[in-house]
Amino acid sequence: MHVFRGLPDVATSRVALTIGNFDGVHRGHQTMLVRLVEAADDLALPAAVLTFEPHQREFFSRENPPPRLSTVRDKLEQFAAHGVAEAYIARFDQRLAGLSAEDFVDQVLVSRLGARWVLVGDDFRFGRGRSGDLALLRAKAKSFSVEAMPTLSVAGERASSTAVRAALAAGDVEHAGRLLGRPYAISGHVAHGDKLGRGLGFPTANVVLRHKPPLSGIFAVRVLGLDEAPRVGVASLGVRPTVKAGAKPLLEVFVFDFNATIYGRRVFIQFLHKLRDEARYPDLESLSRQIRDDVASARDYFATQK
């Protein structure tokens, strides 16, 4: 897959295109990607995705942005896995935000991307003030055709990034997994920490978070990227109130029956079951006892999954 950070000055070829943030690449997004690649093959065109960085809601709500479900790299890997040929990451800034819906079609879709076929969700909105909708897009489509993808429901709920965030915030990682079509995961590189877990007898792999996470608490997790086979363990995701005040969220994972140096390794932490909320303890001894209980609870959970 070819990745373009920014838009070309002028299109040099035609593409089959879909547009969106694709945060989390949930099952609704996956259905769109499958249809995109199918249509691109029929038209003998590259299958292309136009996405944005940062998320529009991050741009307009900088003081309180919504939690991200996936990094840009995570999204790109999902695009590639679904057969996308080209991914365009447009910088969402004041200039792009200020384009009218008509100018977005003329300047971005036609002049700079060369869209011949465009797939959007049936609730797609675009342009300054979200003034453009499916009807306007079709009215402006003189040189390309437009197809709308209907809403996908999972267990009676619309598959959406908002629904995934709500499930994760409620601690229902199982339902989030159903909406995503896979367990919710956070990817990142293992970094050095303060070695507190090692001192308590539970050495952890620490993953620094670049954005506010959509969930918090203690979880039974599966870890990919350490060995050929996945590992399991228990993870703490939160601000560690027993250890320090005002800390930024951190992901710490104690991997069962594993002892190797893995600093710098990129790992994927899949959240399978929430054990409890994060809590503050009066001292490190109390925290250590609770960690032992969490490890036992996670092992019990995995024993029931076999």
**pLDDT, tens digit (0-9, with 9 covering 90-100), for 145-186:** 999 999 899 988 999 999 999 999 999 999 999 999 999 999
Higher pLDDT, 233 or 64: 233
- Give the largest Cα separation in the chain, rounded: 70
From 120, 142, 157, give the residue that closes a domain. Answer: 157
* Position 196 pLDDT exceeds 90: no
- Residue 242 above 60 pLDDT? no
Domain enclosing residue 222, as ranges: 183-304
The encoded tokens of residue 186 equal: 């956070």
The rounded distance, in Å, linking the Cα atoms of 252 and 232 is: 13
| Domain identity same for 107 and 227 | no
Q: Say what the pLDDT of residue 283 is.
A: 79
- CA torsion sign for 235, 236, 242, 248 is positive
* CATH label of the domain that carries residue 265: 2.40.30.30
Judge whether residue 107 has pLDDT over 90.
yes
Asked whether the beta carbons of 126 and 103 are under 8 A apart, the reply is no
Identify whether residues 10 and 127 lie together within a single domain: yes
Residues 211-233: pLDDT tens digits?
A: 889 999 999 999 999 888 999 99
Question: CA distances (Å), 182 to each of 107, 179, 275, in order?
Answer: 37, 8, 19
Which positions ≥6 away from 85 have C-beta within 8 Å? 1, 2, 40, 46, 47, 48
Let me know if residue 239 belongs to a domain.
yes
Cα Rg of the chain (Å, integer): 22
What pLDDT, on a 0 to 100 scale, did the predictor assign at position 245?
59
Lowest-confidence region among 59-73, 93-107, 215-229:
59-73
Is the confidence at residue 55, as pLDDT, over 60? Answer: yes
Q: Is residue 284 in a domain?
A: yes
The predicted pLDDT at position 179 comes to 97
Q: What are phi and psi of 178, to 5 degrees?
A: -65, -40
Is 86 buried (19+), middle (13-18) or exposed (0-12) by CB count in 10 A?
buried
Please give the angle made by the CA atoms of 219, 221 and 226, to the nearest 5 degrees: 145
Same domain, 86 and 211: no
Q: Does residue 138 sit in the same domain as residue 230?
A: no
Domain count of the fold of the chain: 2
Could you tell me if 86 and 125 lie in one domain? Answer: yes
Whether residue 153 is found in the same domain as residue 190: no
**How far lies 229's CA from each of 224, 245, 256, 298, in Å?**
7, 37, 13, 19
In terms of domains, do 126 and 248 share one? no
Is residue 133 located within the same domain as residue 205? Answer: no
The torsion angle over the Cα atoms of residues 271, 172, 64 and 248, rounded to 10 degrees, is -40
pLDDT category at 271 given cuts 50, 70, 90 is: very high
Domain endpoint, select from 122, 157, 192 = 157
Establish if 163 belongs to a structural domain.
no
- Residue with the bigger pLDDT between 224 and 287: it is 224
Q: What is the pLDDT of residues 141-154, one digit of tens each?
A: 999 999 999 989 99
164 within a domain of the structure (yes/no)? no
Domain presence at residue 86: yes
User: Do residues 16 and 152 both lie within one domain?
Assistant: yes
Closest by CA position to 212, among listed 179, 241, 249, 185 = 249
Give the CATH number for residue 102: 3.40.50.620
What are the pLDDT digits (tens) for 25-37?
Answer: 999 999 999 999 9
Pinpoint the alpha helices (H) of 2-100: 27-43, 56-60, 72-81, 94-97
* Res 133: pLDDT: 94
What is the band of 63 on the pLDDT scale with cuts at 50, 70, 90? confident
Mean of all residue pLDDT scores within the chain: 90
Q: Does residue 290 carry a pLDDT above 90?
A: no
Please report the pLDDT score of residue 27 as a whole number: 96
pLDDT band at 210 (very low <50, low <70, confident <90, very high): confident
Q: Where are the alpha helices (DSSP H) in the chain?
A: 27-43, 56-60, 72-81, 94-97, 101-103, 134-140, 161-169, 173-180, 196-199, 284-304
Report the distance separating Cα 83 and Cα 220, nearest Å: 32
Q: Are both 99 and 214 inside the same structural domain?
A: no
pTM: 0.90
Residue 37: other Cβ atoms inside 10 A:
17
The reported pLDDT for the residue numbered 244 is 64
Q: Are residues 127 and 44 in the same domain?
A: yes
Query: Residue 192 corresponds to which tokens in the numbers above?
Result: 């050095």
Q: Is residue 211 located within the same domain as residue 151?
A: no
Residue 171 lies in a domain: no
Residue 135 scores a pLDDT above 70: yes
Last residue of a domain, one of 139, 157, 175: 157
